[in-house]
Amino acid sequence: MALKILLAQFNFLVGDIEGNCEKILSCIHDAREKHNVNCVVFSELALIGYPPEDLLFREKINLRIHKAVQRLIGASTGVTIIVGAPWESESALYNAALIIQNGCIKDIYFKAALPNYNVFDEKRYFSSGEDACVVEVGDINLGITICEDIWLAEPVRLSKQAGAEVIVNINASPFHVGKQKQREETLSKRIKENSLPILYVNQVGGQDELVFDGASFVLDKNGNKIAQAKPCAEDGILLEIDSKTKFITPILSALDNYQENNLAMTYQVLMYGLREYINKNNFNGGVIGLSGGIDSALVLALAVDALGAGKVHAVMMPSKYTSNMSLQDAQQLATNLNVKYSVIKIDPLVTAFENSLASLFEGIEKDTTEENIQARIRGVLLMAISNKFGNMVISTGNKSEMAVGYATLYGDMAGGFAPLKDVPKMLVYELSRYRNSIGKVIPERIIERPPSAELAPDQIDEDSLPPYEILDQILELFIEQDVSRDEIIAKGFDKEEVSRVIKMVFQNEYKRRQAPPGVKITQRAFGKDRRYPITSGAIKYLQEK
């Protein structure tokens, strides 16, 4: 006899316990009716979605979870359901996997390893479990683990000691570049230590700045990948496990079509995260301020790929400093992508602002104040269009700019979502070339010309910043790798330049706190992934040491 098991990679909406339950019930029904499945496995905290954050503190959450679980119990005749949910036991809350079988909860596993770093805050909400959980399903002993458990040796070792023959690991594991390779290498270590196959089930979907890329997979007891689900899509892996030999046979899997390419995957994740944010927050589409520069060009391409051309509105807002080249390139890009394109000249509005402030600013030299007024006028216009038509303003700033504050608060930082927020400038160029390799939509001149905010005569970014090739390297070392100032200098970077960049990073924390969320793609993104105080005396020590 063989155990037929479905690993269900689904997109759950945080807080929508009833809707998530309906999705789970529908999957169970289809799995049983269409594939005669004995067991269906869902992802970590599937019933409430991940991460639920402080929703877990709401009084009625526990009652809603119990009502949903009762519905799953009623659907469990002839099928075992393994599903993630928050679960209260003896006045403590746990990140749990419920094993529901033949009209009852057969067992419950409480997650042992609670991550409390980067984007994770599980110790704020959950208590740690201590015991292994091994459940017999179809004459096979399944050892149940949850996400972080698999990154440590002890939980799997305890499962094997308790009699596990196959490890089931349910996850809500967010994407960053290279994450899938890390997952597979980690699971390979557990397999070498225990000689047990591992079924890895991951959540899929966008949740604020996090993208759960799915890409669930199965490794046999020799560490060979034998099944793979699609990334960034709801999918399933259907398996048969022989009860005597424990040999696993994939029946349904996307393994043959799966090719890991970091650049292609990054583009897909950015597109997916943008689509998820707009759709889950019920916007009609997106509106983008198009400048003729590379950042807004890439964002427009992402938006069209994510939402469709009919749901994207591009708005060019030229001033007297906007070059004809920018106007031509923006028009060509909008034409190539077949989007609605509007031009609103801002010179009359700039004049009105300057006249209103003239008496107050009399006798004071012009500076970045006048430049920022232009950016803020554009922000107001975009927000007005958003209000009128229900399209979210998609911000176009990149990680390099956000890091050093090369952006205008309430101007080009205005918006609901910033898909490039965690994308360094040099990667913007790579992604733009990648997009053109699929279909050439971004005019080559946009990619080749020096970047400029065009807020002053003959302005280019390098007037205010180090070359992006240098800046991005310094920022990666300091922000993502926590390398000290002196260590960065020792790698060959200019002392004054490093000090200036670090100072800009800290001085502009207040701006980043007011920036829209954006897709996390690196190992240290701005937002909940990197938490520094706005008011801090640490900068003088970080510069000196």
Please, are residues 532 and 506 in contact by the beta-carbon 8 Å criterion?
yes
CATH number at residue 21: 3.60.110.10
For the record, the structure tokens of 17 come out as: 């316990």
pLDDT at 117: 85
Give the mean pLDDT of 206-210: 94
CA of 241: how far to CAs of 33, 167, 253, 332, in Å?
Answer: 19, 12, 15, 56
Residues 6 and 27 in one domain: yes
Residues 215 and 139: their CA atoms lie apart, in Å, by 28
Catalytic residue among 4, 27, 39, 44: 44
Dump pLDDT digits (tens) for 296-323: 999 999 999 999 999 999 999 998 888 8
Give the mean pLDDT of 232-257: 85
Choosing from 257, 274, 309, the residue where a domain stops is 257
Residues 153 and 214 in one domain: yes
Residues 401 and 336 in one domain: yes
142's enclosing H/E stretch is strand 140-146
For the record, the structure tokens of 200 come out as: 């890895």
The yes-or-no answer on residue 44 being catalytic is yes
> Which residues, in sequence order, are CB contacts of 206 under 8 Å at separation 6+?
212, 272, 273, 274, 275, 276, 277, 280, 519
* pLDDT exceeds 50 at position 545: no
* pLDDT exceeds 90 at position 423: yes
Residues 174 and 305 in one domain: no
Tell me the HSE value of 477 on the side-chain side, using a 13 A CA sphere: 19
Sole residue written with tokens 């028009």: 331
Residues 134 and 104: their CA atoms lie apart, in Å, by 16
pLDDT at 397: 93
CATH number at residue 531: 3.40.50.620
Sole residue written with tokens 């920018």: 326
Residues 334 and 438 in one domain: yes
Residues 185 and 310 in one domain: no
Backbone dihedral region for residue 415 (phi beyond 0: left; psi -120 to 50: alpha; all else: beta): left
Residues 237 and 249: their CA atoms lie apart, in Å, by 11
The yes-or-no answer on residue 192 being catalytic is no
Please, are residues 240 and 227 in contact by the beta-carbon 8 Å criterion?
no
For the record, the structure tokens of 197 come out as: 């196959």
Catalytic residue among 147, 160, 165, 230: 147
Query: Quick one: CA dihedral 112, 115, 116, 122, positive or negative?
Result: negative
Provide the number of structural domains found in the chain: 2
Confidence at 141, pLDDT banded by 50, 70, 90: very high
For the record, the structure tokens of 121 come out as: 């805050």
Dump pLDDT digits (tens) for 360-373: 999 999 988 988 99
Residues 468 and 444 in one domain: yes
Choosing from 214, 239, 257, the residue where a domain stops is 257
Please tell me the pTM assigned to this model: 0.92
Across all residues in the chain, what is the average pLDDT?
92
Dump pLDDT digits (tens) for 428-474: 999 999 999 999 999 999 998 877 666 666 656 666 788 899 999 99
Please, are residues 9 and 172 in contact by the beta-carbon 8 Å criterion?
no
Give the mean pLDDT of 355-382: 92
The yes-or-no answer on residue 147 being catalytic is yes
Dump pLDDT digits (tens) for 162-188: 999 999 999 999 999 999 999 999 999
pLDDT at 417: 96
Residues 496 and 301: their CA atoms lie apart, in Å, by 37
Residues 486 and 340 in one domain: yes
Catalytic residue among 111, 311, 399, 511: 111
Residues 31 and 169 in one domain: yes
Residues 391 and 299 in one domain: yes
Residues 20 and 91 in one domain: yes
Residues 505 and 484: their CA atoms lie apart, in Å, by 13
Dump pLDDT digits (tens) for 114-137: 999 888 899 999 999 999 999 999
Confidence at 541, pLDDT banded by 50, 70, 90: low
Higher pLDDT, 86 or 1: 86
Confidence at 6, pLDDT banded by 50, 70, 90: very high
Dump pLDDT digits (tens) for 215-243: 999 999 999 999 999 999 999 999 999 88
Choosing from 257, 289, 324, the residue where a domain stops is 257
> Which residues, in sequence order, are CB contacts of 536 under 8 Å at separation 6+?
506, 509
Burial label, 128 (beta-carbon count in 10 A; 0-12, 13-18, 19+): middle
For the record, the structure tokens of 473 come out as: 């390297």
Helix residue ranges, H only, 101-176: 122-125, 153-161
- What is the rounded (10 degree) CA torsion for 247, 253, 257, 262? -90
Name the residue among 172, 146, 208, 150 with its Cα closest to residue 49: 172
pLDDT at 342: 95
Amino acid of residue 462: E
With b meaning 16 or more CB within 10 Å and e meaning fewer, what string describes 210-227?
A: bbbbbbbbbbbbebebbb
Name the residue among 390, 401, 289, 411 with its Cα closest to residue 341: 289
Residues 430 and 455 in one domain: yes
- Domain span including residue 7: 2-257
Dump pLDDT digits (tens) for 13-60: 999 999 999 999 999 999 998 899 999 999 999 999 999 999 999 888
Residues 36 and 239: their CA atoms lie apart, in Å, by 12
